[in-house]
Amino acid sequence: MAYYKGALSFGLVYIPISLSASIKENDIGFNMIEKNTMSRVKYKKTCVDCDDKEVKNEDIVKGYQYEKGKYVIFTDKDFEKIKSSKDKNITIEHFVNLDEVDPIYFDKAYYVLPTGGEKAFNVLLQAMQKQNKAGIAKTVLGTKETLILIRVKDGKMLVNTLYFADEVQNQQEIKLPKIEKKELDLAVNLIEQMTEPFKPENYKDEYNEKLKKAIKRKIAGHEIVEQKETEEPTKIINLMDALQKSLKKAK
């Protein structure tokens, strides 16, 4: 299912595209249950000024409160009328070096699929990959203007939605103590010993698997068995000792 259908353009080149999700959620869903009756807990949408009467979804509209108790109503058609053709499409404003973009700005990723203009799409893809460049654009998704980064990875084009600069908070300043050169050298050595190529397939959601097994045990009428630690954590107060022992273990 396409998340977005529109067009990608750079210069005077116009490419019809769609965006599809790059991530699937593996979360295990739990319902809220009333513990005495084992009945599901529901969340009802109610009307404040009509004796908390439940409201049907088809009767709910978006309203902006401009004064206390006074609203203007916006429909989906209203939001569409506000959008210009530029707002509806993804127009690359300029290109940047991909390594200049701090990952803190990254939000969600989508695959870009051409729905026409395949040759122009491939030219853009190959040129971006050759130059290791990423395109920066803005578009309106739903009712929100979104900053977008278009990049190429392993022969595939992706779109990343980005946070705006004013959405990213600065970290609070902290005072750090001075360190010894020996401590720094040991830490650098330890990092080098622990460095290996990043292979995402090597990392599994182990807790998710434990949760599935626990659910099966509960269904079978068994209690959950507390996990026993195979290795007790070692408490080391001295930093140099901790670094030296960690380095020895890494080797």
User: What local confidence, expressed as pLDDT, does residue 57 receive?
Assistant: 87
The DSSP result for the chain, as a single string, is -EEEEEEEEETTEEEEEEEEES----PPP---EETTTTEEP----B-TTTTT-B--GGG--EEEEEETTEEEEE-HHHHHHH--HHHHSEEEEEEEEGGGS-GGGEEEEEEEEESS-HHHHHHHHHHHHHHTEEEEEEEEETTEEEEEEEEEETTEEEEEEE--GGGSPPPPP-------HHHHHHHHHHHHHT-----GGG---HHHHHHHHHHHHHHTTPPPPPPPPSSPPP----HHHHHHHHHHHH-
Among 28-37, 47-56, 166-175, which is the least confidently predicted range?
47-56
Measured CA to CA in angstroms, residue 110 lies from 30, 47, 170 at distances of 27, 37, 27
User: What local confidence, expressed as pLDDT, does residue 198 receive?
Assistant: 87
Local confidence band at 247 (pLDDT 50, 70, 90 cut-offs): confident
Q: pLDDT > 70: what percent of the chain?
A: 96
Q: Can you tell me the mean pLDDT for 170-194?
A: 89
Q: Is the pLDDT of residue 150 over 70?
A: yes
pTM of the model: 0.75
Mean pLDDT of the chain: 88
Residue 98 neighbours by CB under 8 Å, 6+ apart: 132, 133, 134, 151
Q: Is the pLDDT of residue 87 over 80?
A: no
User: What local confidence, expressed as pLDDT, does residue 176 receive?
Assistant: 87
Q: Is the pLDDT of residue 13 over 70?
A: yes
Q: Can you tell me the mean pLDDT for 55-68?
A: 90
Q: Is the pLDDT of residue 122 over 80?
A: yes
Let me know: does 157 contact 148? Beta carbons within 8 Å.
no
By C-alpha distance, which of 116, 120, 106 is closest to 158?
106
pLDDT tens readout for residues 211-240: 898 889 888 888 888 877 666 666 666 888
| All domains of the chain in start order, with CATH | 2-25+81-167 (2.40.290.10), 181-250 (no CATH)
